[in-house]
Structure 1
Amino acid sequence: MTTYTARPVPPSVLAELRTADDAGRPMAPFTDDEGGAPLRCCLRRSEPGERIALVSYAPLRRWAAATGARPGAYDEQGPVFVHAEECAGPDLDGHPFANAPRVLRRYSADGHILGGELVDAPNDDAFHKAFDDPAVALVHVRAVEYGCFLYEVRGTSSP
Structure 2
Amino acid sequence: MTTTTYAARPIAPRALKELRTADDAGRPAEPFTDTEGGAPLRCCLRRSEPGEVIALVSYAPLRRWASETGVTPGAYDEQGPVFIHAGECHGPAGDALPFTGAHRTVRRYSGEGRILGGRLVREPGDFPQAFLEAFDDPAVALVHVRAVEYGCFLYEVRRD
TM-score (norm: length of structure 1): 0.95
* Residue 155 of structure 2 is aligned to residue 151 of structure 1: yes
* Residue 148 of structure 2 is aligned to residue 134 of structure 1: no
* SS of equivalent residue, structure 2 residue 116: strand
Bigger RCO (CA 8 Å, 6+ sep) = 1
Moved more, 42-51 or 122-131: 122-131
Equivalence for 2:12: 10
* SS of equivalent residue, structure 1 residue 60: helix
CA contact (8 A) 1:18 1:26 kept: yes
Q: 2:96 aligns with which of 94, 97, 110?
A: 94
CA contact (8 A) 1:143 1:150 kept: yes
Shift of 1:94: 1.9
Provide closer, same or farther for how the CA distance between residues 4 and 155 of structure 1 changes in structure 2, counting only shifts above 3 A: farther
Residue correspondence of structure 1 range 1-150 to structure 2 within 5 A: 1=2, 2-120=4-122, 121=124, 123-150=127-154
Count of aligned pairs: 156
Q: Which runs of 5+ in 2 are unaligned?
A: none
% identical equivalent positions? 74
Deviations 1:81-118 (A, max 9, x none): 00000111112332111111100000000000000111
TM-score (norm: length of structure 2): 0.94
Q: Name whichever structure is richer in strand by fraction.
A: 1
Q: Which runs of 5+ in 1 are unaligned?
A: none
Distance 2:95 2:118 in 1: 24
